[in-house]
Amino acid sequence: MPAESFIKKYLRQRVLPTIWCGGCGLGTVMRVIVKAFDDLKIDQDKLVVVSGIGCSSRMVGYIDANTVHTTHGRALPVATGIKLGRPELEVVVIMGDGDGAAIGGNHLIHASRRNIDLNVFLLNNGNYGMTSGQVSPMTPHAHYASTCPFGNLEHAFHLCDMVKSAGATYVARTTTFHYMQGVRLAREALKHKGFAFLEIYFQCPTYYGRFNKMTDAPTMLRWFKENAVRYNPEKPRELKKGQFYIGKLWEDNTKDEYTDLYCKLCNRAAEMVRVAK
Amino acid sequence: MNRHDERYEVLLSGSGGQGIILAGVIIAEAGISHNLKVVQTASYGPESRGGASRSEVILSGEDIDYPAVTQPDFVIALTQEAADKFAPRVRPGGSVLLDSTWVEKPPPDVQATIASFPLTEEASNHFRKPLVANIIALGFFAERNPLLGPDEILQAIIRRVPSHYRELNEHAFAFGRELAGRKTA
Amino acid sequence: MGGAKGRTVLLQGNEACAMGAIYAGCRFFGGYPITPSTEIAEHFARKLPTVGGVFIQMEDEIASISAIIGASLAGVKSMTATSGPGFSLMQENLGLAAVLEAPVVIVNIMRSGASTGHPTGTGQADLMQSRWGTHGDHPVVVLAPATAQEMFDLTVKAFNISEKLRLPVVLLPEAVVGHIREAVYIPTEGEMEVLDRKRPDSYENLLFFRRDENGVAHPPDLGTGHRPHYTGLTHDEDGFFTAEPGKVNAFTVGLNSKLELHSDLLTDYREDAVEDAEIVMVSFGVTARVCSHITRSLRKKGVKAGSFRPRIVWPFPEKRLKQIAQNAHTFIVPELNLGQMRSTVQCAVGQDKRVVGINRVDGTMLTLERTLEEVKKVLN
Ligand SMILES: Cc1ncc(C[n+]2csc(CCOP(=O)(O)OP(=O)(O)O)c2C)c(N)n1
Ligand code: SF4
Ligand SMILES: [Mg+2]
C-alpha cells in the first residue's frame, strides 16, 4: 500500500519502520495525530513534539518536526519551558499513561492549572508497555498485569475529570477504534488556545491484552467499541460498569492562556520601569 | 583598627524587626563610598523573625579574606540578650552602645567605653517611631567611629530609606549624633 | 579596574548571582523556593519580566530543571537555583541536560547536612554530588565562588562555559556566600566577555550531533527550520537512538571528551605563595578565605605556607596541585564536610604526601581561632 502523502510529509521515512509490536495501537494513534497536523497544515518547522519515556513516547522519533524525547514523566515541564521560551511555536506533548498519570502526574495537574497552550495526547494502554506490562494508574480495578498477577487492587484515575478540575480548558477522549473521531478531536485540541488534553485509548495486545484474555488487536478494538459511549452534554447517561465516554468532554474559552498572560505581565513590568525612570 | 590585620569590625545585635540588618547594610554602603572594602553578614532564618538577630560589618583598606567578625571594635546591642552575648566580645579599648530601654543591666567586665541611652524610648518620644532607634544608633556611631564621616553615613541612609521618610530619618540621625556629645546616662 | 565605567554596589551574593546571570544573557528562570537560595528566584521574579525574560515558579525542582532544559533547547539561556534537597531531585535531568547537550546553569547554594538537614546552616557537602550525582558517565563543570563579586563573575563564566561546551554547569556556593553582602563591581555592557552558543546555518546530512574539531556538537535550537531530534538515549551523530556497541562507545566517550579537550578553559584557581611552600592549605569557597588569612600570618612567622583555591572545582585542577607537590610535603584541606575534597587532593598529590583534613559539619563557617589551632597541631 503506497503511503499517503500526509504520512510521507509528517513522518521521518529514514527512521521507519517503528519498534512497535504487530497489532499495537500506536501506529493508528500516530496516523490520527499526523492526519490532524496535515488537515491543519501545521508548519513542521514551527512544530515541536515533546515526549517522556515509554512505547508511546517513542512516537516523537518518527514525526518529522522538532522533537524532544525527554525522561520518564517530564515531557510536560520540558514543554512548558519550550513554550514559554518561544511562545510562537506549536508545542505538542505525547505521553503514556504511566508517564502522564504516575511519575508525571504532578506535572499534569499543574500544567492544566496554568492553562498553558500545550496540546497533550495521553496515550493510554492501561499498563506499562515498554517495561513489559506492569500495572499503571490507568489499569482498571481487578484487571491483570505482571505486577498484579492476582488482580489489581487499586482503582484507575478518571484522568479527564482530573485535568478538567485542575484547570484544563479542552478535554476529550477517543480510542483507536474511532479513527475519524480521533482525527476530529485531535484537530480541535490543536486549534484550542490553552491547555488541551486528548486521552486516546489504544490496544497493547502484547501485554495488556495477553494478561487480560484479549490476545489480539481485533479483540481489544471490539472491547473499545462495545464499551465506548458517545458523550452528549444534553443527554447525560448512566454508564454501566466498564463503559466510558468518548468525544469532547469539556471546553472553556473564557480563561486566559498562560503565555498570553505572561506577555501582558512583561508589558506591564516594562511600563512600570519606564515610568519609574 | 585592629592593628594586626587592618580591619575595623562592627557588630550590631538586637531582636528581629529592630532594623539591625538595615543598619549594617548602611554602614557597609557608607564604607563603599569611602572606597573601603566591606563585608556585611547577618544571621537570618527564623532568627530574623523576632529572635536575636545579628549583623556584622567589616571595613578594611585591603581585601577582606576572613569574612566574620573576630573581635569587634564597635558593638551596638539593642536588647539585654544581645548585650550579654556580644558586649563582652568587644576589643579592649573599643566602643559599646547599649539601648537602655531594653538593656537594664550592662554586662560587667567590658573593657571598653560603654555608652547607654534609651534609644527606643527616645525614638518614640521624639519621633513617634520606635523603629528609628537604629538610625539614632547610626548617628551615634557616626560620631564615634574612626573611619566613616557622618555625611557618608547620612547619604547611605538617604539612599536606603523610602523618600517620604527621609526627613524623619535625617532628624533621628542628627539626634543620635547629638547623643554622642552628651555624657552617657 | 582602570578606566572601567561600571558601578560598585553593596550586593548580597544571591543578588549578585542573579544579576550576573542577567548580564550573561539569561532570560529564563524556572525554580522552586528553598532556603538559602530563594533570593535568587525573587530577584529574577522582579527583574526578568522587565527585560522580556521569563520567570516561572514550577511545581517542584524536577519540573524546574526540566523547564530550563526546554527553554534552553528553544534557544534561551536558562538557569535554576536550589539547595541540597532540590538539587537531589534535579539529578536525573542534570544527566538529561548533559546528554541533550543543553546549556543550562544550575545554582546549588549549599546548606548543611543530609536530608532536610539544617536549612539555615552552611556547608560544603555536595561537592561529590555535584560531580557524580546523576548516573552514568557525564560531563559537568562545577564552579565554587568565594565572594559576592565571584557570585557575579563566576555566574557569567558558568553561562559562557555552558554555551561554549554545551553542557550543564553547576555553581556551588556555600550558604554564607549566598547571603554575604560585599561591594560588587557591575561591569558595563560589553566590558565582560559574554559567549553565545554556535548556531550553524546548515548541517551536512542532518548530522546535528556531529562533534567539531573541538569535540563540541552544535545541535540547532528548536523551531529554526532544522527539525532535529533530541533524545536522552545514547544516540548517533544524527540524534537517533543507537545500541550498536561501537556507536554507543563513541557517543559516551565523545560526550565526556569535552572536559579534557577544554582543560585550559576549565582550569581556574587562585593561589598564594605556593611556589616554595612546604605546607599548602587547599580548600574552596568561603572556607578558602579563612585559609589564605591563616597562611599569610604563618608566612609572617617564617613558616613556608601557601594556599590554593580552585574556582572551578570540577574538573579538579590536579595538574597544578601535582606541580605544587614537588616542593610541598603537607597539604591541609579544611572543608565543611567529612573529607570530600581531601580524598581528591590525596589522589592528585600522590599517596606519599601528607594530606590532613580539617572538617566541620556543625552548620557554621570555619572560625579563624579553631582552624588555627588545628593547623598548629598539624605543624607540630
Ligand atoms: C525514572 C524512571 N523510572 C522508570 C523507568 C522505566 N520505565 C520506562 S518506560 C516505563 C513505563 C512506561 O509506561 P507508559 O508511560 O504507560 O508508556 P507505554 O510504554 O505503556 O506506552 C517505565 C516504568 C524510567 N525510564 N525512568
Ligand atoms: S508493548 Fe504494547 S504498547 Fe508497547 S509496542 Fe508492544 S503492543 Fe505497543
Ligand atoms: Mg502505558
Looking at the CA of A206, which ligand is closest? Answer: 2
Q: For residue B184, what pLDDT is reported?
A: 57
> Any residues with CB less than 8 A from the CB of C5 and at least 6 apart, and which?
C188, C191
Subunit partners of chain C (3 or more CB pairs within 8 A): A, B
What is A23-45 written as a DSSP string? T-THHHHHHHHHHHHHHTT--GG
C-alpha to C-alpha distance for A29 and A49, rounded to whole angstroms: 14
> Under an 8 A CB cutoff, do C54 and A85 touch?
yes
Read off the C-alpha cell for A85: 521560551
- Structural domain including B85 reads 8-116+141-160
- Name every residue in B having a CB less than 8 A away from some CB of C: 5, 25, 28-29, 31-32, 37-42, 44-47, 64-68, 70
At C193-204, the pLDDT tens digits run 999 999 999 999
Statement: C2-186 belongs to CATH 3.40.50.970: yes
Tens place of pLDDT per residue across chain B (185 aa): 333 458 999 999 998 788 999 999 999 999 999 999 999 998 754 544 556 789 999 999 999 999 999 999 999 999 999 999 999 999 999 999 999 999 999 998 888 999 999 999 999 999 999 899 999 999 999 999 999 999 999 999 999 999 999 999 999 999 999 999 886 55
Q: By three-state DSSP, how is residue A10 classified?
A: helix
Residues of A in contact with C227 (CB under 8 A): 44-45, 64-67
> Under an 8 A CB cutoff, do B25 and C180 touch?
no
> pTM of the entire structure?
0.95
Q: For residue C317, what pLDDT is reported?
A: 98
Q: For residue A2, what pLDDT is reported?
A: 56
Confidence band, pLDDT 50/70/90 cuts, at residue C45: very high
Does any domain span residue B154? yes
Domain residue limits, chain C? 2-186, 271-379
Q: For residue B47, what pLDDT is reported?
A: 42
C-alpha to C-alpha distance for A166 and A104, rounded to whole angstroms: 14
C with B: 3 or more CB pairs under 8 Å? yes
Looking at the CA of A52, which ligand is closest? Answer: 1
Q: B37, B62 in Cβ contact below 8 A? A: yes
* Parallel/antiparallel/unpaired status of strands B52-60 and B7-15: antiparallel
At C128-185, the pLDDT tens digits run 999 999 999 999 999 999 999 999 999 999 999 999 999 999 999 999 999 999 999 9
Does any domain span residue B51? yes
Q: Using the atom order of ligand 2, give the atom closest to the CA of residue A20.
A: 5
* Parallel/antiparallel/unpaired status of strands C229-231 and C269-272: unpaired
C-alpha to C-alpha distance for C38 and C36, rounded to whole angstroms: 6
Query: Closest Cα to atom 13, ligand 1: which residue?
Result: A128
Examine the pLDDT at C341 and tell me if it is beyond 50. yes
Q: Angle CA(C171)–CA(C173)–CA(C174) in degrees, nearest 5?
A: 155
Tell me if A146 CB under 6 Å of ligand 2: no
Distance from CA of C288 to the nearest CA of B (A): 8
Q: How far is CA C362 from each of CA C335, C336, C366, rounded to the nearest angstrom?
A: 11, 8, 10
> Under an 8 A CB cutoff, do C70 and A71 touch?
no
| Pick from C8, C35, C181: CB nearest B25 | C181
Statement: A3-276 belongs to CATH 3.30.465.10: no
Read off the C-alpha cell for C171: 555553581
What is A147-184 written as a DSSP string? TBTT---S----HHHHHHHHT-SEEEEEETT-HHHHHH
Distance from CA of C205 to the nearest CA of A (A): 12
Q: For residue A34, what pLDDT is reported?
A: 98
Q: By three-state DSSP, how is residue A188 classified?
A: helix
Tell me if A217 CB under 6 Å of ligand 2: no
> Any residues with CB less than 8 A from the CB of A63 and at least 6 apart, and which?
A10, A11, A12, A30, A33, A34, A49
| Partner residues linked to C28 by β-bridges | C54, C78
C-alpha to C-alpha distance for C109 and C95, rounded to whole angstroms: 19
Q: For residue A189, what pLDDT is reported?
A: 98
Q: A68, A49 in Cβ contact below 8 A? A: yes
Residues of B in contact with C286 (CB under 8 A): 67
Does any domain span residue B172? no
Q: By three-state DSSP, how is residue C291 classified?
A: helix
Q: How many CB atoms lie within 10 A of CB B167?
A: 9
Q: Which residues in chain A land under pLDDT 70?
A: 1-3
Q: A207, A180 in Cβ contact below 8 A? A: no
Q: For residue B3, what pLDDT is reported?
A: 37
HSE-CB for A182 with a 13 A CA cutoff? 24
Could you tell me which of B73, B56, B30 has the C-alpha nearest to residue C176?
Answer: B56
Percentage of chain C modeled with pLDDT above 70: 99
Question: How many angstroms from the chain centroid is the CA of residue A217?
Answer: 20
Q: How far is CA B174 from each of CA A133, A186, A258, C138, rounded to the nearest angstrom?
A: 79, 73, 52, 61
| b/e map C224-248, b = 16+ CB within 10 Å | bebbbbbbbbbbbbbbbbbeeeeeb
Q: For residue B50, what pLDDT is reported?
A: 56
Q: What phi-psi label fits residue C339: left (phi over 0), alpha (psi between -120 and 50 degrees) or beta? A: left
| b/e map A223-253, b = 16+ CB within 10 Å | bbeebbeebeeeeeeeeeeeebbbbbbbbee
Cis amide leading into A17 (omega within 30): yes
Could you tell me which of B32, B25, B23, B90 has the C-alpha nearest to residue B61?
Answer: B32
Tell me if A207 CB under 6 Å of ligand 2: yes
Provide the residue type at C288 as one letter. Answer: A
Grid cell 548580564 is found at: C23
C-alpha to C-alpha distance for C258 and C34, rounded to whole angstroms: 32
Q: For residue C4, what pLDDT is reported?
A: 66
Q: A249, A232 in Cβ contact below 8 A? A: no
Could you tell me which of C299, C300, C280, C298 has the C-alpha nearest to residue C288?
Answer: C280
Q: For residue B109, what pLDDT is reported?
A: 84
The rounded mean pLDDT for chain C is: 96
B with A: 3 or more CB pairs under 8 Å? no
* Parallel/antiparallel/unpaired status of strands A66-69 and C229-231: parallel
- Label residue B104 exposed, middle or buried (CB < 10 Å: 0-12, 13-18, 19+): exposed
Tell me if A116 CB under 6 Å of ligand 1: no
Tell me if A123 CB under 6 Å of ligand 2: no
Q: Residue C80 is inside which H or E element, if any?
A: strand C78-82
Residues of B in contact with C368 (CB under 8 A): 66, 68, 70
Read off the C-alpha cell for B41: 553578614
Largest CA-CA distance found in chain B, in angstroms, rounded? 44
Read off the C-alpha cell for C32: 522552586
CATH number among 3.40.50.920, 3.40.718.10, 3.40.50.300, 3.60.15.10, domain C271-379 = 3.40.50.920
Grid cell 561546551 is found at: C165
- Label residue C212 exposed, middle or buried (CB < 10 Å: 0-12, 13-18, 19+): exposed
Q: For residue C3, what pLDDT is reported?
A: 59
Q: By three-state DSSP, how is residue C149 classified?
A: helix
Domain residue limits, chain A? 3-276
SS (H, E, C) C167-197: CEEEECCEHHHHHCEEEEEECCCCCCCCCCC
C-alpha to C-alpha distance for A70 and A64, rounded to whole angstroms: 17
CATH code for the domain in which residue B98 is found: 3.40.920.10
C-alpha to C-alpha distance for A148 and A145, rounded to whole angstroms: 5
Does any domain span residue B184? no
Query: Closest Cα to atom 8, ligand 2: which residue?
Result: A24
Q: A202, A176 in Cβ contact below 8 A? A: yes
Provide the residue type at A252 as one letter. Answer: D
> Under an 8 A CB cutoff, do C222 and A265 touch?
no
Q: How many CB atoms lie within 10 A of CB C279?
A: 21
Could you tell me which of A34, A28, A32, A29 has the C-alpha nearest to residue A11?
Answer: A34
Q: List the single best residue of B2, B65, B148 to mutate versus C (max C Cβ within 10 A).
A: B65
C-alpha to C-alpha distance for A80 and B18, rounded to whole angstroms: 43
Structurally, chain B folds into a number of domains equal to 1
Q: Using the atom order of ligand 1, give the atom closest to the CA of residue A102.
A: 15
Read off the C-alpha cell for A84: 514559554
Mutation pick for ligand 2 pocket among A26, A59, A208 (CB with most ligand atoms within 8 Å): A26
Per CATH, C2-186 and C271-379 having the same topology is answered: yes
Examine the pLDDT at C380 and tell me if it is beyond 80. yes
Residue A13 Cα to ligand 2 midpoint, Å, equals: 21
Q: For residue C1, what pLDDT is reported?
A: 45
Q: For residue B15, what pLDDT is reported?
A: 87
Read off the C-alpha cell for B24: 549594617
> Under an 8 A CB cutoff, do C231 and A61 touch?
yes
Q: By three-state DSSP, how is residue C76 classified?
A: coil
What is B153-171 written as a DSSP string? HHHHHHHHS-GGGHHHHHH
Identify the DSSP state of B70. Answer: S
* Parallel/antiparallel/unpaired status of strands C305-310 and C269-272: antiparallel
Q: How far is CA B126 from each of CA A134, A200, B97, B101, B132, rounded to the nearest angstrom?
A: 75, 73, 19, 14, 10
> Under an 8 A CB cutoff, do C289 and B28 touch?
no
Tell me if A21 CB under 6 Å of ligand 2: yes
